[in-house]
Structure formats: C-alpha cells, structure tokens
Structure 1
Amino acid sequence: MAAANEDELFLLTDRQCSSILDWAAEQPRNGGVLQAFLASLALAALQPKEALALRARDMELADNGSGVLLIGPQEQKHRREASGDAGTIRRVPACTELVAILKEEITRRDLRPHDAIFVLDDGRALTAPVYRKIWQQARAAVLEAYEIDSPLGRNISALRDTCIAAWLTNGDQTAAHILAVAECAGMSAPRLAERFAQCLRKPMPDEIPWDRMKAAFRIPGPPSEPALAARRP
C-alpha cells in the first residue's frame, strides 16, 4: 500500500466527531478537560499548540451562546506578555456547543483570567504525548475495525481538518468567504485552496460571468488612422 500524502485529507464524519467528544466526556479521569480540548480542535479548528496556549482571558463567551477565541502567534506569546503588547490576534468564532463546553470547564475548575484552560485534574499540564495517547484510545473506541487500519483520523489534526472543510462547504464559497475561513484557520488563502481543493465546488456555467471574462481578455484592434487635414489651396 502506498504511503498516504501528509497533505491528503481523510475527513471524519459529524457522527464520528460527536462520538469522540462524547467518549472523552465519559472518561472517569480528565473527562472534562479532554472533551474541552478536543472540542476546541473539532469545533474551532485550532491547532493543538494553539489550544494548549489558551487561558481563560483569551475567551469571550457570551451568555447568549456566542463566543470568540483570541489566538495569538505562538512565537510572540512570551514577548507579548512581557511587554504588554497585544500583537496580532486572530479572532476565531466559537459555536454554541463549544461555548457551553468551555464555560462548563471554566466553572468546574473555577478558573481565573490567567489560568490555563487545558490542565489535567491532578494539576499537570496537558502535553502532546498525553493527548496523542488519548487520541489513539478515542480513535480505537469510536471507529470501525476497518477504519482503524486506514489513514482516517490517524492524527489528531483530522479534527481541525474536518472543521475547516465544514466551514468551506457550508458557505457560499465566494472569495470573501474563503478569505474569512483562511483567516479563522490561521493560514493563507492560497494554502487553504490548495489543501482543501476537494471541498471547493466548481462554478456552474450560468455562474461564470462570461461577459466580463470576454471583456477582460478582449484583444484591442489596431489604432485607427487619423483623418488627414484638408490642404488649403
């Protein structure tokens, strides 16, 4: 079997994502934090390192169920905290389901603004080796046997990819929409279009502005000769 291209998409279904979040919540140890962490990837398309850097102050969670996550460049995080400079902040919308999960975790642990969101129940930080192990356990518990042996969800980044794909396919796919998705995902529009090309529909013939395309590519003819002035006798 040929090795899978790391850029090839193997997207989870909505049912599989929901089942994984439910499985995490049911764990007797660290269930709340694991569900919240995985939900931030599956519902807000965060990278794991971005999620781990979140603190309670980085979340704007309204009572009406709306919310925004404030994501800063990781390489600038410590410099920004030391200088007080806000830097470039990416605003990622949080859906009602994610807002409810995060609020529950903040309340459960009585978090203060500077507290990290994703910390294990025994006080240890949630690290990459821990969440990778948990991801493999969740994958084995939720997927079918033939899916476990496939590239489907092999990496935890499948949650982020599935979220980005849903944002793309559920929108009107105009240039403005694609740019908005790219901004929320923290990647360039060309990179987004390249990686998620299979999620972008091709325009129908009646949607193509043929008149404007013809005008744009029209080749101008040679300039007309100016009329000679009549000579005076």
Structure 2
Amino acid sequence: MTNGTTTPGAGKNTTPVPEGFSFDVRLWKVTKAQSKTRPHQLRWKVGGKVSSATFATSALAESRRSELWQAMRRGEAFRINDGLPESEVRQAEAEAAAQAKAKLDPTWWEFSREFMERRWRTVAAKTREGFADSLASAALGMMGDRPDAPELPEVRRAVRWSVVPAHVNEEPPPDLEKVCAWLAENSLPLSALMESSIAEDVHYRLAYRLDGKLAAKDTYKRRRRGFNAAMAYAIQKGYMGENPIAGLERPTTAATGPIDPRVLMNAVQGREFLTAVSYVGSVHRNRGRRLVAFFGCILYAAMRPAEVVGLRLDDCYLPETGWGVLTLRETRPVSGKKWTDSGDRHDKRGLKMRDPQADRPVPIPPVLVAMLRAHVKEFGTAGDGRLFQNERGGLVGTSSYWRVWQEARPLAFPPHKVASPLARKPYDGRATCITDWLRSGLPVAEVARRAGTSPEVIDRHYAGCLDNSEEENNKKIEKAMGWGDEDGSVP
C-alpha cells in the first residue's frame, strides 16, 4: 500500500511475543477525519486489528505517527487491544502502580486535607480548629531534613489554610503560594511515621512551641487528641497499622496545674471591680455598663464567657427578690469565620461537656438577679432574645469584653495589685466563683455540676486554693467523731 508502512523487519523478529501483543504492525499516513474539532486522523493495524486516533492539528497527528514509527524501528511489540507500543504500556502500568501506592501511602499534606474533609461535617468549629492545629504541628516533623524547607511559622499557616475544605479548589494566598507548593511536593509520606526518628520528631512538635519552649499542658493534650484522631482514621483507611506515637511517653509540659490563689478576688475586690467596669468607656457608648452584668455572670455564676454571650432572657428566672436561676442551653465560642458553617466568627453550639440538647440550671444569688434585671431595663435584649449585645445589636466579641476587663483593673485595684496576677483575665472571675462555692462547703459534685465541668477537674485545679481551710476542716472532723473534749484527749 502506498499510504502504509509495515513493521521494519516484520517476519524476521525472533523475540518472544508477550501475550496480547504482536510485531505485525501496519501504520498509515495521516488522513482527513469527519470531526470538525479533530479533523486529522491516524490509523494503524496491529495483529489484524485496526486502531485510530483523531487530532486537532496535522502537526499533532504527525507527531503521534512519528512516535509509533520510532517504536516500530526499535522492534517493540504493540498491544493488539488498543494498538499501544510495549514501552507506553509499561509506562502506563508503572504510573498506575505509583498512583495506587500513593492512595495507600499519601503524603502528610494530602492526608491532612483528606482527614479534615471527612471530619468537617461531624465536629464543632473549635474542634475543627483544634484538628488543624494538630495537623499543622505534626507537619513540622513531616518535612524531612531539607535545607530549602520553608520557615516553620509559614508551614503552620499554610497547613491551617489548606485543610479547610472550602479552600480545596482555591489558589493559596500570595504569601503562601510557594510554601503550599513546596509542601505539596516535599511533604513526607504517611509511612515515614513508622521510622522512630520521624515519629519522635512529630511527637516533639506536638509538645513544644515554635520558640522551643514547652507548650501548655492543655495545648499538648489537645494536639495529641487531634493527632490520635487522625491516626485512627489512617488505620481505618488501611494507611497505617498502628498509631506510631502510642508508646511514646508524654514529655513534661508547662502545666496549667492548680489555680494560682493570687488570681482570686475576695468579695470586696469583686464588688469594686464590677463598679470599675461601669466607668469604662464614654458615657454615650456605655461600653463598660453594658458588661457589668456580663462579668457578674462570670463572677457569681461561674459561667464561661462563651456561655454568657449566648444567654437569652427566656432562659433566666429573675424574681424581684431572692435567688434566681439561669438555665444554660447554648454557648457561642469564637472560632473564626473559616471554621464555622455559618461563616460567622462565633459558632453556635450546645454546652461544653454536655449532650447537644442538654441544659444546665445554675442558681444565682440576689445580687446577680438585681444586676440582670437592671441590665434588661437599661439595654433591653438583642433581636434574637440574647441578653447581651454590642452597640450594634450583634454578639459581644472576645476583644470587646477583654479590653473592658483590662481597662477596669487599674480603676478597681491599687497599683501593686494591678501589677500582680490578681484577676488578670475573665476566666479568673470564674475561678473566683468556683473557689467561693467550695469554701462555702458546697459538695464538689454540685460545684462541678453548676460550673459545667467534672469533679476530677475541680479536684485537680482547685485543691490548692483551699489549703487555708485545713484547720476548719479538722474541727469538722473532730465534731463528727466526737473528739471535741475540753482537754483535747482522744477516747
């Protein structure tokens, strides 16, 4: 045929023919095709079966014809089924095997994104952020010993950005483009965690800050919980056989430990502090007065700030006299827009350590009842019934109440107390309330119930605050045991 070419040396090749392949190849010249978008056609026949391909330009068609012709000259066998040269078949098989291996051994970069995509819908915004922090911390140990590795703070930022499912089809921010590209190319595979040196380095990254100092105990525990959850998923998917850091001992971390008694306010200091809050800010904006009852809920009901933010008037029993009750049902923690489903900075969740539909009734003293009644009378409620709102009717932000708290301290305390740890942060007001409950003789279990935590946490964090009650406790024991004789003798 004038328009065709047979295999060079056909009929003389004595090389064994692989099954499904043939050396009997005929290659025709490029011809016109019926397609408007791909009008150039190339046809060739292998072992009696015709294969074809169409191309948008004649140059592409001729290039493909040249590739097939070179394979014929090298004496390659062609696969009968699809007409591909043996070298291309082997290359495709190798690529498929590599892809299959990659699926069973993804890089840490790929795995982090996969894990977050699977867990995103089932966890709260704060948990999402915690997972991201765990994955980003571990990523610092999953880069290998490369001299061109990016700076560690940039790596953390890049991983935290990349694991948000909404970012999967987006280009990274300009300042993270190179870091993301480097991590996508150089992040170690998941199997590298089975090397003890890599596992130990990852464990180190979970326990230490970027400056080399020990992370806080709660930070380490949160990071390790997130990493353990990721490893449980990896085991479920067949990527790993076991958690590589399960047997590693926890390093000594900077402990949050027992509450420092110096942060606690006494009754007089608490009243003076709330009075000082009312003086913060200009008169027409009422920045401080809007938050007097807000901080009162922390100081007299041991509420977490996020619980106060979500408190609604319908959940408050505020009689004209006597004790009232706050029935807590909702918390509004700040997580950041990229972590919440709504795109708002505040997530909307149930109570911490409770089922989503559970509530927590907290009796409140008359002084707090009066504060809340006065607050509602002066400021009303938000459109959705929330008790506390900012000047625009929105949620009270963390930065807003934090600034007011800090501005009130110099107004409430003398300079040497301002310089001390006394009431440094809003959570110190919660600690003050819990300590007051314990000192009043309230059972630990009831204190834990009102505060929305566990008795174990109360024992661990507050035992040191009650040391000065040892003598009083001894007297209670003597009275209960009948040892209170005048001469002090024990029968």
Give the TM-score band, short-chain normalised: 0.7 to 0.9
Match of 2:274 in 1: 21
AA at the equivalent of 2:454: S
Work out whether residues 56 and 114 of structure 1, in 8 Å CA contact, stay in contact via their aligned partners in 2: no
Work out whether residues 11 and 153 of structure 1, in 8 Å CA contact, stay in contact via their aligned partners in 2: yes
Alignment of 1:75-86 (within 5 A): 78=348
TM-score, structure 1 normalization = 0.74
Match of 1:188 in 2: 454
Match of 1:95 in 2: 365
SS in structure 1 opposite 2:404? helix
Percent same amino acid at aligned positions? 27
AA at the equivalent of 2:451: A
Alignment of 1:132-143 (within 5 A): 132-143=402-413
Alpha-carbon RMSD across the aligned residues, in angstroms, is 2.9
Work out whether residues 324 and 363 of structure 2, in 8 Å CA contact, stay in contact via their aligned partners in 1: yes
Change (3 A) 1:37 1:168: same
AA at the equivalent of 1:30: R
Match of 1:149 in 2: 419
Match of 1:206 among 461, 470, 478: 478
Report the more deviating stretch, 185-194 or 104-113: 104-113
Work out whether residues 61 and 99 of structure 1, in 8 Å CA contact, stay in contact via their aligned partners in 2: yes
Change (3 A) 1:86 1:149: closer
Work out whether residues 56 and 112 of structure 1, in 8 Å CA contact, stay in contact via their aligned partners in 2: no
Match of 1:121 in 2: 391
CA offset at residue 5 of structure 1?
Answer: 5.7
AA at the equivalent of 2:279: E
Change (3 A) 1:194 1:170: same
Match of 1:215 in 2: none
Work out whether residues 290 and 375 of structure 2, in 8 Å CA contact, stay in contact via their aligned partners in 1: yes
Match of 2:265 in 1: 12
Cα deviation digits, residues 109-135 of structure 1 (max 9, x gap) = 343894111112343431100111111
CA offset at residue 72 of structure 1?
Answer: 2.5
Change (3 A) 1:49 1:66: same
TM-score, structure 2 normalization = 0.37
AA at the equivalent of 2:265: L
Match of 1:107 in 2: 377
User: For residues 379 and 412 of structure 2, what CA distance do their matches in structure 1 show?
Assistant: 28
User: For residues 97 and 73 of structure 1, what CA distance do their matches in structure 2 show?
Assistant: 23
User: For residues 371 and 449 of structure 2, what CA distance do their matches in structure 1 show?
Assistant: 24
Work out whether residues 57 and 113 of structure 1, in 8 Å CA contact, stay in contact via their aligned partners in 2: no
Change (3 A) 1:100 1:187: same
CA offset at residue 160 of structure 1?
Answer: 0.8
Rg (Cα) greater in structure? 2
CA offset at residue 170 of structure 1?
Answer: 1.2
Cα deviation digits, residues 45-72 of structure 1 (max 9, x gap) = 1011110110111111123332111112
Work out whether residues 438 and 447 of structure 2, in 8 Å CA contact, stay in contact via their aligned partners in 1: yes
Report the more deviating stretch, 156-165 or 119-128: 119-128
Report the more deviating stretch, 63-72 or 24-33: 24-33
Match of 1:179 among 425, 428, 445: 445
CA offset at residue 207 of structure 1?
Answer: 5.9
SS in structure 2 opposite 1:54? coil
Work out whether residues 69 and 92 of structure 1, in 8 Å CA contact, stay in contact via their aligned partners in 2: yes
AA at the equivalent of 2:298: L
> How many aligned positions are there?
199
Match of 1:72 among 329, 345, 358: 329
CA offset at residue 195 of structure 1?
Answer: 0.8
Work out whether residues 65 and 100 of structure 1, in 8 Å CA contact, stay in contact via their aligned partners in 2: no
Match of 2:294 in 1: 37
Match of 1:164 in 2: 434
User: For residues 383 and 455 of structure 2, what CA distance do their matches in structure 1 show?
Assistant: 33
Larger RCO, structure (CA 8 Å, separation 6 or more): 1
SS in structure 2 opposite 1:74? coil
AA at the equivalent of 1:60: Y
AA at the equivalent of 2:449: E
